[in-house]
Chains A and B, each alone.
Chain A
């Protein structure tokens, strides 16, 4: 997983829970990197899982809730760091462009990046988005958080129905997003 995700996670924990919490969770985990992350590096994604679990243990907040909250935070950060990818007029258009545009650009810079893949389609009346998440890293909750961040950014009221379609190693989740007007 790209270092930027780890950096943003650490920054988020520091901003919300304080640097003491960062120190506590890093010390309590057995991290190969020692908790030293650079945005341009690549690290084992299980380190993030360990830290989220530790944060959950420290705060009493459940892991999926934390991961989702991190997703929403991350959306805001991506928006700040890479505004060029967010010039769409609706969240559905943006989400639909991730697999074919955003991830293609990421792979140009980081050919080794292990990215989740998305199959997406927007209904003809533009009210429904089918968004299928595939990843060996099981971060569907992170995807939910990112999607919620997107809906908030475009000021849209969207319901997300989640259907787990995992059958093998890879996590497969179908999100059906419906726009309320």
Chain B
């Protein structure tokens, strides 16, 4: 049965309510007291909840920062490995150049000198002279090869592109991703202009609307 029906029936069996003003006031005061106590409990509960939320948020922030520094570290290691690889290639190139020049001087120039110069002292001086003439050649040749490997920056640009692609994977650049991109661009020796060109290229390739991105990252654009 409906509670209101029950109440109606119950009222029939009972005398009328006590309407004495003092009793009414006392009743209302008790009610007020209960309401106040309930409010305090509610406030306490909310206080505790927001504290728990704050702490949980704090913990999330911490792990986010940790993650960011790990990513930066990894990125740093990756670029160090790349530059070590480039250096190794450059060293190999320098050695090859040195070997070629040594063969030329040993088997092509020196026998000619020995044939035409009889004086041993003069011969030795000529040999040293030729050898020292070859040194700048060697230096120039290895510089040219090295710069071909590093200054063209093809590897660096490719690595930056890869980073951009993974950053744009979800269509947006978060603050953390922006930090990593900026520090990586500096590490790869990319000028801000070059970095932003590459970024536009990647965005075009991934079909991300540049206008929308500009609106989102308005303060970060050049």
Among the stretches B38-46, B96-104, B157-165, B186-194, the one at the interface with A is B38-46
Closest residue of chain B to A20 (Cβ to Cβ) is B17
Q: Which residues of B contact A38 (CB under 8 A)?
A: 38-39, 41-42, 45
Q: Is A73 an interface residue (CB 8 A)?
A: yes
Chain A 30-55 interface mask (CB, 8 Å, partner B; 1/0): 00011111111100000000000000
Among the stretches A10-18, A95-103, A113-121, the one at the interface with B is A10-18
Shortest CB-to-CB span from B19 to chain A, Å, is 9
For the complex, give the distance between the alpha carbons of A17 and B8 in Å.
8
Q: Is B73 an interface residue (CB 8 A)?
A: no
Q: Is A60 an interface residue (CB 8 A)?
A: yes
For the complex, give the distance between the alpha carbons of A41 and B44 in Å.
9
Q: Which residues of B contact A27 (CB under 8 A)?
A: 30
Known contacts being A18-B17, A23-B30, A60-B10, is A73 close to B3, with CB within 8 Å?
A: yes
Q: Which residues of A contact B38 (CB under 8 A)?
A: 36-38, 41
Number of A residues near B (Cβ < 8 Å) is 31
Interface residues of B in 12-67 (CB under 8 A from A): 13-14, 17-18, 27-28, 30-31, 33-39, 41-42, 45-46
For the complex, give the distance between the alpha carbons of A73 and B34 in Å.
23
For the complex, give the distance between the alpha carbons of A27 and B30 in Å.
9
Q: Is A26 an interface residue (CB 8 A)?
A: yes
Given contacts A16-B7, A19-B27, A19-B31, 13 further A-B contacts (CB under 8 A): A20-B17, A20-B18, A22-B31, A26-B34, A34-B37, A35-B34, A38-B39, A58-B10, A59-B7, A59-B10, A65-B1, A66-B6, A70-B3
Please, could you name 6 A-B residue pairs with CB atoms under 8 Å apart, sorted by A?
A18-B17, A20-B18, A40-B45, A59-B13, A65-B1, A69-B3
